[in-house]
Amino acid sequence: MSATTEAATGIRPFQIEIPEERIDELRRRIAAAQWPSGELVGDRSQGVQLEALQALAHYWLGEYDFGRIERRLNALPQFTTEIDGVDVHFIHVRSKHEDALPLIITHGWPGSVIELLGVIDPLTNPADGEDAFHLVLPSLPGYGLSSQPTEIGWDTGRVAKAWAELMRRLGYDHYVAQGGDQGAAVTDDMAREGPEGLIGVHLNLLRSALGSTASLPAESDQERAALEEVTTFKTSGFGYFLEQSTRPQTIGYALLDSPIALAGWILDHDTDSYYKIAAAFVDGKPAGNLTRDNILDNITLYWVTRTGVSAARSYWEGGRAAAQAAGKTPPPVTIPVGFTTFPGEIFRAPRSWAEKVYPTLVYFNEASRGGHFAAWEEPEIFAEELRAAFGSVRNGRSS
Amino acid sequence: MSTTVETATAIRPFQAEIPQDEVDDLRRRLAATRWPDKETVSDASQGVQLAKLKGLVDYWATDYDWRRAEAKLNELPQFVTEIDGLDIHFIHVRSSHEDAMPLIVTHGWPGSIFELLKVIEPLTEPASAGDAFHVVIPSLPGYGFSGRPDGPGWNPDRIARAWDELMKRLGYDEYVAQGGDWGAVITEAMGRQAPSGLRGIHVNLPASVPPDVEAALNGTGPVPEMTDEEQAAFDGLAAARKSGFFGYFIALTSRPQDVGYGVTDSPAGLAALFFWHPGFATWSFGTDPKDPKSKDDVLDDISLYWLTNTAASSGRLYWEHGGAFPTSATALKVAEITVPVGVTVFGEDGFRPPESWTRRAYPTLTYVNRVDNGGHFAAWEQPQLFSEEVRAAFRSLR
């Protein structure tokens, strides 16, 4: 990007610099952790297990290389640009194939751009140049290196509008969008908003099923199993969701003041990813790319950017937006939709559910491996899914 | 559960003595608090506001003196005895009137025995000797100076059985029981178990919400016909459920350990958690001269959780209980209570069920009253008024 373009669009190059004293302070706090007594059960049913979190703290303090975040991020072209009052941080990697398809991928909670670093190379630089993407990876407002909103109203609908503006500013007049978790909500909102230039989306979480399964079929074995998985999550795994939707500031004090609190809160997302991450620390056996170092890059980024509260607040915004939208039918999605169900996801959405929510579904697949953090855990499989899902869109053969 | 502890029944005197380095460590942590940015709203709808919490934490780090709190406890006769494999700490103050009625009063969360200190004098030494009580105030398992359970199963029913054992061990063959918050849930469990000698109970968080009203609140049944007073109570409950009050109830019920890490490592995080509870959130801490609850009142309580490292273990009671609302008559099975029941509704509590609901809920109701003053922590906030209610409720049982 030339200097003149930068001036015109307000896009500024960015490098992360973490002051040494901030790392020293973090290390001091980890070393001084006061621990609770252990859980009373042999599984995760009371939360993150003491052994797993202590193993994490031990590695964090003793072996983790705190220079990793700077090295990994600063090796990539990063920028910030002010949109709607928030400084949006993003990674922007153009493929060497000029006519690659522009793609914006949105991370989720408790993730960050860190979860997406492994997919950059496979997506921008695939074996077949026809499959290449120009990649835009923004940090959600209030997350990581984007600034924290100081006013209310930054729900996923507003983020979706900001992303459309970001792609416009980057000069992309045709592009696709992808997301899981919170990123799925943003991407769904983009698809419903239908900004000019957005020609397709791919999702790996059927967000609306977590709101209500009332309209979804529950006849086949697969459908009934998915329904049961949703119910299990909403009855026993929903605590963090409700807490952040209602009192983000309350949990936030501990997340800002205690790295152990932050790590514990981040580790306990869903059953599958929890056990995978716990195994990485306790047994040294990571699942795919969910390695100790990668997990700690993400947690450390939350700590040094002091975004525990502001990220949690995005759920509060989601709750507020849902209350305001209650009873209203959201606009239909009219562009092509691709969906991949990963086997370790909170619930394995069957094709019938994806079709019900997205009548314009053009691609559906069940991946062989991977869970809720699919891009992070299995970057190659995730990249293959995106290539396959966007193949028809790319060639202009979508209906 | 049929085991009665045959050994280790000794009742040992107890004094609170927190090592100075732990008190110093708390102060250091408070002074080093890493604060988040301010909330993005101008009210408490995202949680306790930064300015309010900072004010309390600044005082905690500088002028607050734990040794004064410890001295308050150590002026009282305290004991520990092992029941059902766990050390139970309790205050035991006998009235000067030998034939006073024995009474066990149970605190709640995020309270502790500190909630109940101000009612000891009025209950043990009332103006009329005929109203006197011998008072037993235990610390719940996993709370304060009681032991922390190291296995699952310490639910309200088990605690209720332990309390009966405690009273029997103290030689009280006949006694009454009282509680609010968790104390009400445990006291009602005692009422259902109706051990020999339990003469009656009094609660100030009654499980009065009738099944049809509960179903309507949960969206699983139609809204029943109600009087104006009932409708107002219903609307209040519906609004409370929408207000976000229950987020933490659900979080503690489902994943107490996750909440526990933060509140064990960060005293500011612990204080913030307690402000989630509307019983605390409404306190003015001295800014309102008519409001007698001081910063010291609440900091004695929070410091006790911190210095005994019981923030996580106390939250597990929610997990043990399994999420049933303490206000629901069905969930707490209060229709099974066979001993006389007294209920007082305090006018400043968020939950103020109409008398008609309470009468439907408790078949053995012998006393029901509503007073204007006092909130969720009535014994703490209005000790005289609370004591009058306890006397009145149990007078007919003497």
The predicted-structure confidence for A211-268, as pLDDT tens digits, reads as follows 889 999 999 999 999 999 999 998 888 788 888 988 899 999 999 999 999 999 999 9
- Does residue A390 contact residue A202 with C-beta atoms inside 8 Å? yes
CB contact under 8 A, A261 and B46: no
What's the longest Cα–Cα distance across chain B? Answer: 60
Query: Does A113 map to a domain?
Result: yes
- Does residue A244 contact residue A315 with C-beta atoms inside 8 Å? yes
Mean pLDDT, chain A, integer: 94
* Chain A residue whose CA is closest to B57: A253
The predicted-structure confidence for B9-43, as pLDDT tens digits, reads as follows 899 999 999 999 999 999 999 999 999 999 999 99
Pairs of CB atoms within 8 A across A/B = 190
Distance (Å) from the alpha carbon of B89 to chain A's nearest alpha carbon: 18
* Chain B residue whose CA is closest to A237: B254
Nearest to A265 among B34, B149, B262 (CB): B262
Distance (Å) from the alpha carbon of B37 to chain A's nearest alpha carbon: 8
Residue B286 has pLDDT above 80, yes or no: no
- Residue A239 with chain B: CB contacts under 8 Å: 250-255, 258
Nearest to A246 among B244, B254, B262 (CB): B244
Q: Which two tokens stand for residue A88?
A: 């949006």
Three-state secondary structure string covering chain B: CCCCCCCCCCEEEECCCCCHHHHHHHHHHHHCCCCCCCCCCCCCECECCHHHHHHHHHHHHHCCCHHHHHHHHHCCCEEEEEECCEEEEEEEECCCCCCCEEEEEECCCCCCHHHHHHHHHHHHCCCCHHHCEEEEEECCCCCCCCCCCCCCCCCHHHHHHHHHHHHHHCCCCCEEEEECCHHHHHHHHHHHHCCCCEEEEEECCCCCECHHHHHHHCCCCCCCCCCHHHHHHHHHHHHHHHCCCHHHHHHHHHCHHHHHHHHHHCHHHHHHHHHHCHHHHCCCCCCCCCCCCCHHHHHHHHHHHHHCCCHHHHHHHHHHHCCCCCCECCCCCHHHCCCCEEEEEECCCCCCCCHHHHHHHCCCEEEEEEECCCCCCHHHHCHHHHHHHHHHHHHCCC
Q: What is the four-CA torsion angle of A143, A144, A149, A154, rounded to 10 degrees?
A: -30
CB contact under 8 A, B259 and A47: yes
The predicted-structure confidence for B383-395, as pLDDT tens digits, reads as follows 999 999 999 999 9
A185 is in which domain, residue-wise? 3-32+45-394
Residue B306 has pLDDT above 60, yes or no: yes
Q: What phi, psi does A66 have (nearest 5°)?
A: -70, -10
Residue A169 has pLDDT above 60, yes or no: yes
**What is the C-alpha to C-alpha distance for residues A11 and A3, in angstroms, rounded to an integer?**
9
Q: What is the four-CA torsion angle of B146, A239, B361, B179, rounded to 10 degrees?
A: 20
CB contact under 8 A, B266 and A253: yes
Ordered structural domains, chain B, with CATH: 11-209+244-395 (3.40.50.1820)
CATH no. for residue A87?
Answer: 3.40.50.1820
* Pairing assessment for the beta strands A133-138 and B101-106 based on DSSP bridges: unpaired
* Chain A residue whose CA is closest to B152: A40
Mean pLDDT, chain B, integer: 93
Query: Does A399 map to a domain?
Result: no
Nearest to B311 among A36, A47, A268 (CB): A36
As a whole-number percent, the residues of chain A with pLDDT over 70 amount to: 97
Query: Does A288 map to a domain?
Result: yes
**What is the C-alpha to C-alpha distance for residues B398 and B388, in angstroms, rounded to an integer?**
15
Greater pLDDT, A4 or A171: A171
Query: Does A274 map to a domain?
Result: yes
Distance (Å) from the alpha carbon of A245 to chain B's nearest alpha carbon: 8
Greater pLDDT, B85 or A9: B85
* Chain A residue whose CA is closest to B318: A46
- Residue B311 with chain A: CB contacts under 8 Å: 36
Nearest to A47 among B40, B247, B257 (CB): B257
Residue matched to tokens 């210095």: B307
- Per the structure, the count of domains in chain A is 1
CB contact under 8 A, A151 and B36: no
Residue B4 has pLDDT above 60, yes or no: no
Cα B366 to Cα B318, B339, B344, B397, distances in angstroms: 30, 10, 11, 9
Buried b (16+ CB within 10 A) or exposed e, A47-72: bbbbebbbbbbebbbeebebeebeeb
CB contact under 8 A, B250 and A34: no
What residues 118-177 of chain B have any CB closer than 8 A to a CB of chain A?
148-152
Name the band, by pLDDT with cuts 50, 70 and 90, for residue A145. Answer: very high
Buried b (16+ CB within 10 A) or exposed e, B203-230: bbbbbbbbbbbbbbbeeeeeeeebeeeb
- Residue A148 with chain B: CB contacts under 8 Å: 37
Distance (Å) from the alpha carbon of A124 to chain B's nearest alpha carbon: 37
- Does residue A342 contact residue A376 with C-beta atoms inside 8 Å? no
Query: Does A40 map to a domain?
Result: no
Query: Does A39 map to a domain?
Result: no
Nearest to B250 among A238, A250, A264 (CB): A238
* Chain A residue whose CA is closest to B260: A36
**Cα A126 from chain centre:** 22
Is some CB atom of chain A closer than 8 A to the CB atom of B59?
Answer: no
CB contact under 8 A, B247 and A249: no
- Does residue A288 contact residue A370 with C-beta atoms inside 8 Å? yes
Nearest to A256 among B36, B245, B250 (CB): B36
Nearest to B261 among A245, A249, A260 (CB): A260
* Pairing assessment for the beta strands A361-366 and A337-341 based on DSSP bridges: parallel
Q: Which two tokens stand for residue B262?
A: 């933060």
| AA letter at B188 | E
Query: Does A38 map to a domain?
Result: no
Exposed, middle or buried by CB within 10 Å (0-12, 13-18, 19+), for B42?
exposed
Residue B283 has pLDDT above 80, yes or no: no
Q: Which two tokens stand for residue B175?
A: 């006694």
Is some CB atom of chain A closer than 8 A to the CB atom of B91?
Answer: no
